[in-house]
Structure 1
Amino acid sequence: MRRNILITGASAGLGEEMARQFAAKGYNLALTARREDRLAALREEFLGRSPGITVTIHKLDVTVDEQVFSVFREADQAHGQLDRIIVNAGIGKGAPVGTGRPDANRETLMTNFIAAFTQAEAAMELFRARNAGHLVFIASAAALRGLPKTITAYAAAKAGVSSLAEGLRMEMLNKPITISTIYPGYIRTAMNEHVKNTPMIVDTVPGVQSMVAAIEAEKAKAYVPSWPWGPAARFMKVVPLPILKRMI
């Protein structure tokens, strides 16, 4: 059993709900995010419902490399050993390329891809040392194709995460370090509440339940929820661009 789990970006959205569901299952948690006060409130909530677990909180800005390495090592020591690390922290900023907001697009790329790469470095350092562990990347259905307008940078970053995970998975084949990539479709969170066109959106709790189930099964890849996002993913990979553009 992967008993000790670290989750980045655990103060809100998918990370918060994953933490809540893993806590309910009896897992020990290392929760990281920039908002330490929010993490403290979640710790109190989780311990109130599941008093037998251990929950540590760690303030972390994933775009600061030194913090990522120090916090991962600190959490690993605090729990005796981290068994699973979930690379989840991300943002949803973005603007059409060339419209005067390169800052927003760069911030999205730095947080969602470069910082994810740093988290992978820190996680794999721990896992390689003991030749064991489960590294989980939260990608997105947006990673499957290049996408237009405000989500171009976001989709590109998540495609990078998907490629990073696959490269590590290939290297770790037949070894005791497992790599999983989770591709959520539209799951309702604060990040996407302002988006007008959200077809096939799923509420937070059932959407995250499907994510947690895929993580627990240690699947190599999972499109979640499997309905409708399994068939939708297969369609997205092959549909011609003009048709995809009309659908978005």
Structure 2
Amino acid sequence: MRKNILITGASSGLGKEMARQYAAMGRNLVLCARRRDALQALASELTSQYPDIKVQIRALDVNEHEQVFTVFHSVANEFGKLDRVIVNAGIGKGGSIGKGFFNANRQTAETNFVAALAQCEAAMEIFRQQNDGHLVTISSVSSVRGFRGAFTTYAATKAGLASLTEGIRIDVLHTPISVTTIHPGYIDTEIIDEGTKPPFMVDVQTGCRSIIKAIEKEVDIAYVPFWPWALLRHLLAWLPLGWMRRFS
């Protein structure tokens, strides 16, 4: 069992709900995000409900790359062993290319890919030293294709993250280190624009149950929830560009 789990982007959305569900499973948690107050409130909630688990918080901006390495290694030293790292921190800012959204698109690219690379590097350093561990990256169903408008850069970063993760998986194939890529479909979190209702969207509790089920199996790749995304991802790959315009 992977007992000691580090989650980035844990102050809201998928990270926060994964923390709640893992706490209920009796796992020790390291919760990382920029907002210390939100992390502290979550840690207090979890330790009051589940007094037998350890919950630590770390204020961490994943775009501060040296800080990522420092935090990850300090946690591994304090816990004695770090069993799983979930690279979850991400944002969805941006707009159509060439319409004045460069700064927002750049922030999304840096946070979702470059900062994710830093997290993967730091986690894999630890796992290689331990000769054991489980790296999990949170990509997206949108990684299957290019998307228009606000999704253009976001989808590209998630495709890059999926490719990066697969490369790591190949690198450590047939070793005690596992590597999983999770591709969530539409899950109702803060990253979904208020007032929009994408197709097949599920609540965050349902979505995270599907995510954790896949993580616990340590599969290579999972599209979640399984229905309908395990099927629709094949359809997305073949849709004409005219149809793709309707998805954003």
Hey, what does 1:141 align to over in structure 2?
A: 141
Pair 1:246–1:37, CA change in 2 (3 A): closer
Aligned sequence identity (%): 51
Q: Offset at 1:187?
A: 0.3
Q: CA deviation at 1:139?
A: 0.3
User: What runs of 5+ residues in structure 1 fail to find an aligned partner?
Assistant: none
Do structure 1's residue 79 and structure 2's residue 79 form an aligned pair? Answer: yes
Tell whether 2:182 aligns with 1:182. yes
Aligned to 1:213: 213
Residue type of the alignment partner of 1:100:
G
What are the ranges of 5 or more consecutive residues in structure 2 without an aligned counterpart?
Answer: none
What's 1:163 paired with?
A: 163
Aligned residues: 248
Provide the alpha-carbon RMSD of the alignment: 1.0
CA separation in 2, counterparts of 1:235 and 1:6? 34
Query: How far off its partner does 1:245 sit?
Result: 2.2
- 1:197 shift after superposition: 4.9
Q: Partners of 2:186 and 2:192 in 1: how far apart?
A: 8
Distance 2:221 2:58 in 1: 28
CA offsets 1:164-184 (integer angstroms, 9 cap, x no match): 001011111111110000000
The match for 1:96 is: 96
Partner of 1:238: 238
Q: What TM-score do you get using the length of structure 2 for normalisation?
A: 0.98
Matched, 1:122 2:122: yes
Provide the rounded CA distance (Å) in 2 between the counterparts of 1:184 and 1:195: 20
Q: How far off its partner does 1:122 sit?
A: 0.3
Over 3 Å counting, the alpha-carbon distance change for 1:161 and 1:91 in structure 2 is same
Once the two structures are superposed, residues 79-126 of structure 1 have per-residue CA deviations (whole angstroms, 9 ceiling, x without a partner) of: 111100000000110111001120000000000000000101100000
- 1:245/1:193 CA distance change after superposition, 3 Å: closer
The DSSP-based 3-state class of the residue aligned with 2:61 is coil
Which deviations, in whole Å up to 9, do the C-alpha atoms of 1:148-195 show, x marking residues without a partner? Answer: 011101001000100000101111111111000000000000110426
Structure 1 residues 120 and 247: alpha-carbon distance in aligned structure 2, compared to 1, 3 A threshold: closer
C-alpha separation in 1, matches of 2:79 and 2:224: 29
